[in-house]
Amino acid sequence: MTQVGESVAVAKPAEKKQEKGDLKITVRDICDGSRVKEAEVIVNKETKKTDEYGDCTFTGLPVGSADIKVKKHFKEADYLKFITHNPKITTSHDAKSSENDIALIIVNKTSKERIEIPVFKVIESVRFCRIHLKLKPLDYGHWWIEVDDKSYGWWPKDGELSAKEMEEPTPPPPLGANASAKEKIAHMSQAAAYRAKNARYQANNSSTSFYGQAIYKTFRGVPGILNGDEEYKKNEIDPHHGDWKNGKTDEDYHPVIVDCRTKEEIHDAIRDFAFAYSGEWSWRFEAGRNCHTFQKDAMKQLKLDKVKEI
């Protein structure tokens, strides 16, 4: 019996133990399902990275829904995009992917979640090569595309930029010892005509004339052809193929993709583009139809405008 002034002990209800579960997350390439290692995974503010198999496990999570965020920076695929190609003005971009999801955590169980993310890839079998125009001495340079052991560029048809064809004049035969006055006068006239023709011939074939005519034709336009002539076109070899191996190029780029095309599909698309390209060759300050526009059009039309400078 409780006496007056005595306290009464009140029993407290037992605390309910919080129910928990685990979560295993696998991160994969959205295109081919390959596992993505070193992806950053955040679950309820806890961060882990996937292992070499694309997996990571979170333990002791409260039962119920859990927010998931997956991030991956493909640093080797950080890329440029061109604002203008010549002069070169570019913007730099980080090759980052992210994806959000929600998982259900079940008491005393390991829930499994597969999350797919876009993966940035550098297509090293494709190379955009550039040798720039130089004015002294006049050198048109060249831009072309190499695809493994094949290459493609847009050229003036062989010989179209050369000086106009002129037959070299033949000097008159020497006068005989007993030439008459009439023959001497005729010979003088023939010699004068020869000197005039020869002067035109020499001028036409001089470097000054060549450059003058070439520049005029460059702006006016001449017939164009893939790789410069039929033999190079047939063999799918640009005359500058492999120049980058000897350090002769000014700029080189690999395309960077973040879609599901295979390397082979990209190779085929470049080849199809190259053989469909047609028309004249001309250069008018980054306009016209030339090796620059050939390469730029390929980048744009084939969605290869993300590039990694080599």
Is-contact 141 154, C-beta < 8 A? no
Question: What is the percent of the chain where pLDDT is above 90?
Answer: 66
Instruction: Report the predicted TM-score, pTM, of the whole model to 2 decimal places.
Output: 0.76
Where does the pLDDT of residue 204 fall: very low under 50, low under 70, confident under 90, or very high at 90 and above? low
User: Residue 203: its pLDDT value, please?
Assistant: 56
Closest to 68 (Cα-Cα) out of 51, 56, 84? 56
| Extended beta strands in the chain, E state | 20-29, 40-43, 46-49, 55-62, 64-73, 79-84, 89-93, 96-105, 110-117, 121-122, 126-131, 142-147, 150-152, 154-156, 222-226, 251-257, 280-283, 288-289, 307-309
pLDDT of 208 strictly over 80: no
Q: Which helix (H) or strand (E) holds 186?
A: helix 181-204
Burial pattern 246-268, b for ≥16 Cβ within 10 A else e, equals eeebebbbbbbbbeebeeeebbe
Q: How many CB atoms lie within 10 A of CB 87?
A: 7
User: Phi and psi for 50 in degrees, rounded to 5?
Assistant: -70, 150
Closest to 216 (Cα-Cα) out of 121, 134, 282? 282
Domain boundaries, the chain: 20-84+93-118, 126-162+217-309
Strand-strand pairing, 40-43 and 46-49: antiparallel
3-class DSSP state of 129 = strand
Give the tens place of pLDDT for each residue, 186-197. 887 787 777 766
pLDDT of 5 strictly over 60: no
User: Residue 246: its pLDDT value, please?
Assistant: 94
> CATH number of the domain at 20-84+93-118, out of 3.40.50.2300, 3.30.465.10, 2.60.40.10, 3.40.50.11900?
2.60.40.10
